[in-house]
Amino acid sequence: MNRRLLLAVPLVAAGAAGVGFWSMLNGMREGKFDPRGVPSMLIDKPMPDFTLAGFTAADVRAAGRPIVINFFASWCVPCIEEAPTLLALARAGVPLWGIAYKDKPAATDAFLTRHGNPFAKLARDEPGTVAIDWGVTGVPETYLIDKSGIVRWRFSGPMPEGAAQFLAEKLRA
């Protein structure tokens, strides 16, 4: 009897995985499943306190206006894809501050020289501890912080070209 139960376990697990996969595909077809939709626990909460060379959480709050913070890295291929969008945001007047995640200063500088530097301020999080406090799941990741230091929006992955208009509207709100 125990052998039959052991044989049934893989079948039950495969069935459960199949149902989960079908649900995901069905949700994608209906527009209800977003594979990038990893929720952030920071939305509508104060940004984490941090101190990095370049800028601190106090600097963000003292700016007196909304700030867009982008975590990026020189070794990140999607960050290269996102670079033109960030440059467009900077040209559109979006206050964009960057945090280099787990990156060496020389590599960060070379990346910004090669792909353009859209950041008004730049900080470095070489050990990655600040990113952990923010709940960063991977780079690039972008946050909109309101003038009071509250996280209002987060985007995981490279921002699409239309992000400039979207963020401009968010900044006006």
Listed in order, strand segments (DSSP E) in the chain are: 51-52, 55-56, 67-72, 96-101, 121-125, 141-145, 151-156
Tell me the two tokens of residue 75.
Answer: 């070794």
- Reference 132, options 102, 105, 157; nearest CA is 102
Domain boundaries, the chain: 1-35, 51-172
CA 116 to the chain's CA centroid: 19
* pLDDT at position 36: 52
Instruction: Name the architecture of domain 51-172.
Output: 3-Layer(aba) Sandwich (3.40)
pLDDT recorded at residue 164:
67
- Distance, in Å, from the CA atom of 5 to the CA atom of 105, rounded to the nearest integer, reads 57
* The pLDDT value given to residue 63: 96
SS3 46: strand
Take residue 109 and report the two structure tokens written for it. Answer: 């500088």
Please report how many Cα atoms fall inside a 13 Å half-sphere around the Cα of residue 68, on the Cβ side.
Answer: 29
Q: Average pLDDT per run of 10 along the chain, which is 173 residues long?
A: 69 64 59 59 95 97 96 97 94 94 97 98 97 95 95 91 75 72
Residue 75 φ/ψ, nearest 5 degrees: -85, 0
pLDDT at 143: 96
pTM of the model: 0.78
